[in-house]
Protein backbone atom coordinates (compact mmCIF):
# COMPACT_ATOMS: atom_id res chain seq x y z
CA UNK A 1 0.00 0.00 0.00
CA UNK A 2 1.34 3.44 -0.97
CA UNK A 3 0.37 7.10 -1.05
CA UNK A 4 -1.32 7.41 -4.45
CA UNK A 5 -1.06 11.13 -5.18
CA UNK A 6 0.41 14.48 -4.28
CA UNK A 7 3.93 15.35 -3.15
CA UNK A 8 4.43 12.12 -1.16
CA UNK A 9 3.15 9.91 -3.97
CA UNK A 10 4.74 6.47 -3.84
CA UNK A 11 5.68 6.54 -0.15
CA UNK A 12 4.97 3.01 1.15
CA UNK A 13 2.65 2.66 4.16
CA UNK A 14 3.26 0.13 6.93
CA UNK A 15 0.18 -1.86 7.98
CA UNK A 16 0.13 -3.93 11.19
CA UNK A 17 0.19 -7.68 10.72
CA UNK A 18 -3.00 -9.56 11.54
CA UNK A 19 -6.51 -8.22 11.50
CA UNK A 20 -5.98 -5.02 13.52
CA UNK A 21 -6.90 -2.91 10.48
CA UNK A 22 -8.64 -3.27 7.13
CA UNK A 23 -6.91 -0.72 4.89
CA UNK A 24 -8.94 1.23 2.35
CA UNK A 25 -8.32 -0.08 -1.15
CA UNK A 26 -6.08 2.01 -3.38
CA UNK A 27 -8.86 2.32 -5.98
CA UNK A 28 -11.42 3.61 -3.51
CA UNK A 29 -8.92 6.05 -1.96
CA UNK A 30 -8.02 7.38 -5.42
CA UNK A 31 -11.71 7.87 -6.27
CA UNK A 32 -12.34 9.66 -2.95
CA UNK A 33 -9.40 12.02 -3.44
CA UNK A 34 -10.27 12.73 -7.06
CA UNK A 35 -13.67 13.87 -5.78
CA UNK A 36 -12.08 15.98 -3.02
CA UNK A 37 -9.33 17.63 -5.09
CA UNK A 38 -10.77 21.17 -4.91
CA UNK A 39 -11.45 20.92 -1.16
CA UNK A 40 -8.01 19.69 -0.06
CA UNK A 41 -5.73 22.74 -0.30
CA UNK A 42 -5.36 24.22 3.19
CA UNK A 43 -8.11 22.00 4.66
CA UNK A 44 -7.89 20.49 8.14
CA UNK A 45 -8.93 16.87 8.51
CA UNK A 46 -9.69 14.21 11.09
CA UNK A 47 -9.04 10.55 10.25
CA UNK A 48 -11.18 8.45 12.61
CA UNK A 49 -10.57 4.71 13.03
CA UNK A 50 -7.34 5.67 11.28
CA UNK A 51 -5.59 2.29 11.16
CA UNK A 52 -2.49 2.89 9.01
CA UNK A 53 -3.53 6.55 8.61
CA UNK A 54 -3.94 6.23 4.84
CA UNK A 55 -6.86 8.67 4.42
CA UNK A 56 -5.27 11.47 6.44
CA UNK A 57 -1.80 10.87 5.00
CA UNK A 58 -3.22 10.98 1.48
CA UNK A 59 -4.95 14.29 2.32
CA UNK A 60 -1.68 15.68 3.67
CA UNK A 61 0.22 14.60 0.56
CA UNK A 62 -2.38 16.33 -1.62
CA UNK A 63 -2.23 19.71 0.10
CA UNK A 64 -4.24 19.60 3.34
CA UNK A 65 -2.90 22.04 5.93
CA UNK A 66 -2.95 19.53 8.78
CA UNK A 67 -5.05 17.25 10.86
CA UNK A 68 -5.48 14.57 13.46
CA UNK A 69 -5.68 10.80 13.46
CA UNK A 70 -7.63 8.79 16.02
CA UNK A 71 -6.82 5.09 16.46
CA UNK A 72 -7.48 3.00 19.56
CA UNK A 73 -5.33 -0.03 18.66
CA UNK A 74 -1.76 0.50 19.97
CA UNK A 75 -0.13 -1.63 17.27
CA UNK A 76 -1.95 0.22 14.49
CA UNK A 77 -1.10 3.59 16.11
CA UNK A 78 2.62 2.66 16.09
CA UNK A 79 2.40 1.91 12.36
CA UNK A 80 0.50 5.14 11.81
CA UNK A 81 3.23 7.17 13.56
CA UNK A 82 5.86 5.45 11.41
CA UNK A 83 3.83 6.26 8.27
CA UNK A 84 3.36 9.86 9.39
CA UNK A 85 7.11 10.27 9.87
CA UNK A 86 7.79 8.90 6.37
CA UNK A 87 5.20 11.17 4.73
CA UNK A 88 6.39 14.24 6.68
CA UNK A 89 9.97 13.51 5.59
CA UNK A 90 8.81 13.31 1.95
CA UNK A 91 6.89 16.59 2.37
CA UNK A 92 9.77 18.32 4.15
CA UNK A 93 7.67 19.21 7.18
CA UNK A 94 8.28 18.58 10.85
CA UNK A 95 4.79 17.39 11.79
CA UNK A 96 4.51 19.35 15.03
CA UNK A 97 1.11 20.64 13.90
CA UNK A 98 -0.19 17.08 13.40
CA UNK A 99 -1.55 14.81 16.12
CA UNK A 100 -2.08 11.08 16.57
CA UNK A 101 -4.52 10.25 19.37
CA UNK A 102 -4.49 6.70 20.74
CA UNK A 103 -8.03 6.60 22.06
CA UNK A 104 -11.66 5.71 21.41
CA UNK A 105 -13.21 7.81 18.63
CA UNK A 106 -16.28 8.73 20.70
CA UNK A 107 -14.02 10.35 23.34
CA UNK A 108 -12.02 12.40 20.81
CA UNK A 109 -12.15 16.21 20.86
CA UNK A 110 -10.49 18.18 18.04
CA UNK A 111 -7.60 20.40 19.06
CA UNK A 112 -8.90 23.82 20.16
CA UNK A 113 -9.53 26.07 17.17
CA UNK A 114 -8.66 23.27 14.75
CA UNK A 115 -12.04 21.75 13.95
CA UNK A 116 -11.75 19.73 10.73
CA UNK A 117 -13.17 20.64 7.34
CA UNK A 118 -12.99 16.98 6.29
CA UNK A 119 -13.64 13.92 8.44
CA UNK A 120 -12.67 10.46 7.21
CA UNK A 121 -14.41 7.56 8.97
CA UNK A 122 -13.40 3.97 8.21
CA UNK A 123 -14.75 1.89 11.12
CA UNK A 124 -14.83 -1.88 11.48
CA UNK A 125 -17.76 -2.79 9.24
CA UNK A 126 -19.43 -4.98 11.86
CA UNK A 127 -19.73 -1.99 14.23
CA UNK A 128 -21.30 0.51 11.79
CA UNK A 129 -24.93 -0.06 12.85
CA UNK A 130 -24.09 0.72 16.48
CA UNK A 131 -21.44 3.39 15.91
CA UNK A 132 -22.85 5.52 13.08
CA UNK A 133 -25.69 7.17 15.05
CA UNK A 134 -23.33 8.04 17.92
CA UNK A 135 -20.64 9.36 15.57
CA UNK A 136 -22.97 11.59 13.57
CA UNK A 137 -24.62 12.93 16.72
CA UNK A 138 -21.17 13.75 18.10
CA UNK A 139 -19.99 15.31 14.82
CA UNK A 140 -23.08 17.52 14.71
CA UNK A 141 -21.86 19.23 17.88
CA UNK A 142 -18.14 19.16 17.08
CA UNK A 143 -18.58 20.64 13.60
CA UNK A 144 -21.21 23.28 14.37
CA UNK A 145 -18.70 26.01 13.40
CA UNK A 146 -18.01 24.25 10.09
CA UNK A 147 -21.26 24.35 8.06
CA UNK A 148 -19.33 23.31 4.93
CA UNK A 149 -17.75 20.28 6.62
CA UNK A 150 -17.74 17.03 4.71
CA UNK A 151 -17.72 13.55 6.23
CA UNK A 152 -16.40 10.69 4.09
CA UNK A 153 -17.66 7.41 5.56
CA UNK A 154 -16.36 4.10 4.21
CA UNK A 155 -18.90 1.28 4.44
CA UNK A 156 -20.08 -1.83 2.57
CA UNK A 157 -22.23 -1.06 -0.46
CA UNK A 158 -25.31 -2.76 0.98
CA UNK A 159 -25.47 -0.43 4.00
CA UNK A 160 -27.39 2.84 3.69
CA UNK A 161 -26.98 5.50 6.37
CA UNK A 162 -29.50 8.31 6.88
CA UNK A 163 -28.21 10.17 9.95
CA UNK A 164 -30.48 12.96 11.24
CA UNK A 165 -29.10 16.39 10.34
CA UNK A 166 -26.88 15.04 7.55
CA UNK A 167 -27.38 14.55 3.81
CA UNK A 168 -25.57 12.00 1.66
CA UNK A 169 -24.40 14.09 -1.29
CA UNK A 170 -22.38 11.44 -3.14
CA UNK A 171 -21.52 7.78 -3.01
CA UNK A 172 -18.55 6.10 -4.67
CA UNK A 173 -17.96 2.39 -5.11
CA UNK A 174 -19.01 -0.68 -7.00
CA UNK A 175 -22.20 -1.55 -5.11
CA UNK A 176 -23.34 -4.29 -2.74
CA UNK A 177 -20.72 -6.34 -0.89
CA UNK A 178 -17.94 -3.97 -1.98
CA UNK A 179 -16.36 -1.08 -0.05
CA UNK A 180 -17.97 2.25 -0.87
CA UNK A 181 -17.48 5.81 0.35
CA UNK A 182 -20.49 7.96 1.24
CA UNK A 183 -20.00 11.74 1.42
CA UNK A 184 -22.18 13.53 3.99
CA UNK A 185 -22.67 17.23 4.56
CA UNK A 186 -24.70 18.90 7.31
CA UNK A 187 -28.30 19.40 6.23
CA UNK A 188 -28.96 23.16 6.03
CA UNK A 189 -31.37 24.44 8.67
CA UNK A 190 -34.83 25.29 7.38
CA UNK A 191 -35.42 29.06 7.02
Please list the pLDDT of the chain residue by residue as tens digits (191 residues). 888 888 998 898 998 776 655 666 677 888 999 999 999 999 999 999 999 999 999 999 999 999 999 999 999 999 999 999 999 999 999 888 899 999 999 999 888 778 899 999 999 989 999 999 999 999 998 888 888 999 999 999 999 999 999 999 999 987 777 889 999 999 876 56
- Predicted confidence at residue 18, as pLDDT, reads 66
- Predicted confidence at residue 20, as pLDDT, reads 54
- Predicted confidence at residue 29, as pLDDT, reads 86
- Predicted confidence at residue 62, as pLDDT, reads 95
- Predicted confidence at residue 154, as pLDDT, reads 94
- Predicted confidence at residue 191, as pLDDT, reads 61
SS (HEC) of the chain: CECCCCCCCCCECCCCCCCCCCCCCHHHHHHHHHHHHHHCCCCEEEEECCCCCHHHHHHHHCCCCEEEEECCCHHHHHHHHHHHHHHHHHHCCCCCCCEEECCCHHHCCCCCCCCCCEEEECCCHHHHHHHHHHHHHHHHHHCCCCCCCEEEEEEECCCCCCCCCEEEEEEEECCCCCEEEEEEEECCCCC
Domains of the chain by start residue, with CATH: 26-186 (3.40.50.150)
- Predicted confidence at residue 175, as pLDDT, reads 75
Amino acid sequence: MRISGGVARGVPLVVPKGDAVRPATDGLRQAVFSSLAARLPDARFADLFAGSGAYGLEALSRGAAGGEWVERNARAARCLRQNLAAVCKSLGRDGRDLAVHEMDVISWQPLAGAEPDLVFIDPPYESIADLAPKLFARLTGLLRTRPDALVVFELPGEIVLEPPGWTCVKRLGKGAHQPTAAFFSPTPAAP
